[in-house]
Structure 1
Amino acid sequence: MTVGNAPGPLAKGRPAPRVLLVDLDDTLYRVHQIPAIVKQRIQEYMVKKLGIPQDEVAAKTTELYLAYGTTLAGLVATGYRIDYDDWHEFVHQGALDYDTLLQPDPSLRDILCSIDLPKYILTNANRVHTERALARMGLSDCFQGMFYFENVMELAASHGFDVAHGVLCKPNPRIYQLVAEQLGVGLSEIIFFDDSTRNVASAHGLGCMTVLVGSDKPCPGADLSLPTMHDLPAAMPELLDQPGLVHEHHSSIPGMAQEQHAALAVPTAVGGAAAGSCNGSGIAVSVPAS
């Protein structure tokens, strides 16, 4: 990997990156049925379990999402008491057929494994959904750790955040600060990938390099925009160890690019551990919350 002298986004006078921080849903994969199912289930939960009138839930869902980052965070902030495990079971793992909706993505695995930097998931989703999605795509061991709902909330609580009355989630700037502290890196040493313009803008405002996934158009707050993660080798070749080892990517997943290129290489050790793992263990180690 060559950083600093090579052409591309990393050559613009930035500190050398030390960590990749990657969102899960609509970033590592893009399947239009999944957000539609999740939105429907959120609204069903609001009606069936919170007693919110059916004719109010659509507007309320959007209002809370825009104001608080997620509908769940907005519900908690406005006084609703929610069993988080019950919420996530109803909205995600109890509603999604992972085997049908998601497929293995060996091309993306090759890309991730060819980047000789530690890689971590940062998602607003919970642990079970995150683990199931990564396992189904064959990406579990491509990450050295994961920041998901449960351990982010534990991390927040250990730093004085009032988790009894609030949910810490993207795009709250505090989440990026706590993650950087937990990883022992500066915010300017992180490359953050996300499909949300709000999330990347928030991280960018703190000094992270940001990549908006899901668009090929420039976006305020994003240093780079990519249609999918499969476009990373062409957009940021300086990240890849062996960019010459490529093969075609043909995806059968609805909503994903049909043909891209990926790089294949085995990562070398970083900080005493294989960057991104990719060691065949199939296990992603959760980042400690404190």
Structure 2
Amino acid sequence: MTVGSGGAGGGPTKDATQPKVLLVDLDDTLYRCPKIPAIVKQRIQEYMVQKLGISEDEVAAKTLNLYLSHGTTLCGLVASGYRIDFDAWHEFVHQGALDYDTLLQPDPSLRDILCSIDLPKYILTNANKVHTERCLARLGLSDCFQGLFYFENVMELAAQRGIDVSHAVLCKPDPRIYSLVAEQLGVRLSEVLFFDDSARNVAAAHGLGAKTVLVGAEKPCPGADLALPTMHALPAAMPQLLDQPGLVHEHHARGHGRGADALVVGVGAGAGPSGSSAIAVSVPAS
């Protein structure tokens, strides 16, 4: 399995290091639904006006500036000195505003693709746990991943590693998040294949040595080894990843896989080096 063999959207990479882990963003990467980011953006601005007292005249520009300078608007607000209840923020912005059953539909073809890749697969998202789990459940992809890295457990992991998040948010594209995740999974970043729709998230991971795929584009950006219009183009672009079709699906069918409630990365659990088998990350969700 040689990732550097090239394919649609980009030429061969210089380093043919074999990936041991797939790290995949959630929103606008695993699925595309333009209504969701539009609703989230509107709710973020409503929160800033209603809860933080920011003027309606300046909220749009402030939202954009904070997003561009800090990675997420939430991160920028916290860095600017606003005290925010994170659970209340996510409830207001995501699960309290999104009708998941209407906006998202099961994606059996993507499920088949993911289940045909004989490598551990993990989600890395700036979103919170509830949003992540609801999206994956609605897409029918919950058991395609061996673990989830989302807002809450990334913040917990950062605190355990000595990063001060008492009045700060750690999120992509901060390079520390990729290093923390790789360390937790027991792999080098050069052994990670990272998928994201954000050019700056991809570039940050690539700068640390990860192999990167920009999703939602026809051509790679600086820092991306490959570009895919959607994740459905993965088999044609990187057929070498699907060299053991059905293995992961069969593993779950035999009853050895865990349900969605256990697909949560336990930041206190040790994770050994990854190979063809899934890394042991088995702390049930609370």
**Same fold, judged at TM 0.5 (above):** yes
Q: Please tell me whether residue 287 in structure 1 is matched to residue 265 in structure 2.
A: yes
Aligned partner of 2:174 among 172, 175, 183: 172
Cα displacement (A) at 1:199: 0.1
Cα displacement (A) at 1:219: 1.1
Over 3 Å counting, the alpha-carbon distance change for 1:48 and 1:265 in structure 2 is same
Alpha-carbon distance between aligned partners in 2 of 1:80 and 1:21, rounded to the nearest angstrom: 31
Point out where structure 2 has 5 or more consecutive residues left out of the alignment: 269-286
Over 3 Å counting, the alpha-carbon distance change for 1:281 and 1:47 in structure 2 is same
1:115 matched to which residue of 2? Answer: 117
Query: How does 1:51-200 map onto structure 2 within 5 Å?
Result: 51-200=53-202
2:2 matched to which residue of 1? Answer: 3
Q: Which deviations, in whole Å up to 9, do the C-alpha atoms of 1:205-247 show, x marking residues without a partner? A: 00000000001123111000000000000000000025xxxxx
User: Partner of 2:240: helix, strand, or coil?
Assistant: helix
Alpha-carbon distance between aligned partners in 2 of 1:67 and 1:235, rounded to the nearest angstrom: 33
Over 3 Å counting, the alpha-carbon distance change for 1:278 and 1:137 in structure 2 is farther
Alpha-carbon distance between aligned partners in 2 of 1:213 and 1:4, rounded to the nearest angstrom: 16
Aligned partner of 1:214 among 205, 213, 216: 216
Cα displacement (A) at 1:13: 3.2
Cα displacement (A) at 1:7: 5.9
Judging by fraction of residues, say which structure has more helix: 2
Alpha-carbon distance between aligned partners in 1 of 2:75 and 2:3, rounded to the nearest angstrom: 39
The AA in structure 2 aligned to 1:180 is A
1:223 matched to which residue of 2? Answer: 225
Aligned partner of 2:248 among 241, 263, 267: 267
Alpha-carbon distance between aligned partners in 2 of 1:109 and 1:23, rounded to the nearest angstrom: 15
1:17/1:190 contact within 8 Å kept:
yes
User: Partner of 2:122: helix, strand, or coil?
Assistant: strand
Alpha-carbon distance between aligned partners in 2 of 1:65 and 1:278, rounded to the nearest angstrom: 41
Identity of aligned residues (%): 73
Over 3 Å counting, the alpha-carbon distance change for 1:48 and 1:200 in structure 2 is same
Alpha-carbon distance between aligned partners in 1 of 2:260 and 2:166, rounded to the nearest angstrom: 34
1:246 matched to which residue of 2? Answer: none
Alpha-carbon distance between aligned partners in 2 of 1:213 and 1:7, rounded to the nearest angstrom: 15
Alpha-carbon distance between aligned partners in 2 of 1:3 and 1:178, rounded to the nearest angstrom: 25
Q: Which deviations, in whole Å up to 9, do the C-alpha atoms of 1:127-174 show, x marking residues without a partner? A: 000000000000000000000000000001111211112100000000
1:16 matched to which residue of 2? Answer: 18
Point out where structure 1 has 5 or more consecutive residues left out of the alignment: 243-263
Alpha-carbon distance between aligned partners in 1 of 2:6 and 2:45, rounded to the nearest angstrom: 47
Cα displacement (A) at 1:11: 6.8
The AA in structure 2 aligned to 1:43 is Q
The AA in structure 1 aligned to 2:166 is A
Cα displacement (A) at 1:289: 1.9
User: Partner of 2:28: helix, strand, or coil?
Assistant: coil
Q: Which deviations, in whole Å up to 9, do the C-alpha atoms of 1:44-71 show, x marking residues without a partner? A: 0000000001111000001100111000
Over 3 Å counting, the alpha-carbon distance change for 1:172 and 1:133 in structure 2 is same
Q: Which deviations, in whole Å up to 9, do the C-alpha atoms of 1:241-268 show, x marking residues without a partner? A: 25xxxxxxxxxxxxxxxxxxxxx52328
Alpha-carbon distance between aligned partners in 1 of 2:183 and 2:4, rounded to the nearest angstrom: 28
Cα displacement (A) at 1:77: 0.4
Alpha-carbon distance between aligned partners in 1 of 2:210 and 2:193, rounded to the nearest angstrom: 6
Count of residues in Structure 1 that have an aligned counterpart in Structure 2? 263
2:281 matched to which residue of 1? Answer: none
Over 3 Å counting, the alpha-carbon distance change for 1:168 and 1:268 in structure 2 is same
CA RMSD, Structure 1 to Structure 2 (Å): 2.1
User: Partner of 2:135: helix, strand, or coil?
Assistant: helix
